[in-house]
Structure 1
């Protein structure tokens, strides 16, 4: 090998520099062509976005995503939360809020409108649910804490059962704020297998509870394939002492049933995407959480 190297150096010394460059070009081109192209960044679906000021909030949200280099595939957009209430008896305000988010979604193909009703409004809530479903709404958001209802109330079960019959996915808060939050939601999901549920925040800092699914699914009739989670909040535990437990829980509940959420504007999408990227998950698992699971659930196409 030493003699070959020496001979090569002597040959290069006798060749003009331009000739040497011409000899090197084909090899350079071959080397470039042999390097696989970097895969295009996959879109992100954020299932938990509060647009408190309608189109203005959406514009701010999209600007934040662009600044962070995030390609948005879509958002689950809701109008209530924060200063916007949806309390029992406010049927006119609820209808107006739902109409606003439906109209906004009509201007953006990637926006999945999340309507709301109040379970205590009984038949009026059921009628409003049917109305928004006929307008194309695929997502119903309910928040027991801010709307002040008990998940065990029979009117809640009647409402979410009807949502399933109409093909509407139910997104319910599961931040663990209320006593018995996880247990009541678990039982509701079991009682209404025909409805698809997304539990927001996956239990918050009490996410460990949902490892119960690993055991529940060993029993007959407890597949609970209708249960999904958004990980707004807990995803930020990346690089914390709890990360390993969070990853273990995500795999126990089923990666195919986990969605990315930001809870904007309280928490930002860029922080959620960055934290997901740092979790000790495979690239395939992250891609499912970032986009593919939501695309399958809501029948979306990549932008």
Structure 2
């Protein structure tokens, strides 16, 4: 049982985060809507909660900032600003966002940000308004894999059948590594299929990872908790990453929720940092 179980459960019931000792933590899901000022807010929130991120993945996309089709110049400007911010903040891993409908222009921008050192591409079918089965999505994620970028895709169950479509996307592009954010939301049970997919010879490249942001807050200390932990084990503890989805949720609350789950400390440590270190090649 996690050493954070009791304080975490109390904090969750009160809607606050406990003060946690510093641990190696990588937060893969941070939205910096307002650049440096959002980063300052993120750090201040973590300080208030008594937590610290050894590293974090940060994107400009989200909230008031949208990667709209036809605005590739806006994406370029945002990426350049994010690259400058990352250069001044070595713990930050910049996350790119382009719109699949921009076709060749999106692919060219992906090539450019890969050369700048970006490690992750974030796309969001609901907010950006595209179909996961669109061939332009396939071309984009294929290029991302070829350039060594991990593709982070929203998987909160907002888009009908997004889990099915994401599974098929991963099957069709075995050379690309995917992180599906929120692990399906309240449809997380569907991902137990991975335990069977791994037994099918030649079917699955085992290229799917998940961040557990937001969903872990619902599952911890709830009737869903045992099923959620069962699903975590079926998809593979080595395939799970921690994400806060700041500013909607805090890193402190997310760590408290993770600590409330019935996981061995060795497994929780992998989720907090170890798996991200391996996936993103962190120092």
TM-score w.r.t. the length of structure 1 is 0.85
Distance 1:206 1:225 in 2: 20
Would the aligned equivalents of 2:46 and 2:52 in 1 still touch at CA under 8 Å? yes
Aligned length in residues: 262
Distance 1:205 1:217 in 2: 23
The one-character-per-residue Cα deviations of 1:39-73 (angstroms, maximum 9, x if unpaired) are x8422111000000001100110111122221211
State the match for 1:242 in structure 2: 224
Q: Which runs of 5+ in 1 are unaligned?
A: 1-39
Distance 1:275 1:224 in 2: 30
State the match for 2:259 in structure 1: 277
Would the aligned equivalents of 1:43 and 1:70 in 2 still touch at CA under 8 Å? no
Q: 2:207 aligns with which of 211, 221, 226?
A: 226
Shift of 1:224: 3.5
The yes-or-no answer on 1:152 pairing with 2:138 is no
Shift of 1:154: 0.3
Distance 1:41 1:79 in 2: 27
Looking at both structures, which has the greater relative contact order when contacts are Cα pairs under 8 Å and sequence separation is at least 6? 2
The yes-or-no answer on 1:87 pairing with 2:82 is no
State the match for 2:40 in structure 1: 59
**Structure 1 segments of 4+ aligned residues over 6 angstroms from their partners:** none
Q: 1:267 aligns with which of 222, 228, 249?
A: 249
Would the aligned equivalents of 1:86 and 1:116 in 2 still touch at CA under 8 Å? yes
TM-score w.r.t. the length of structure 2 is 0.91
RMSD (Å), alpha carbons: 1.0
Distance 2:127 2:94 in 1: 20
Radius of gyration: which is bigger? 1
Distance 1:130 1:116 in 2: 12
Shift of 1:289: 0.3
Shift of 1:99: 1.1
Q: 1:161 aligns with which of 128, 142, 157?
A: 142
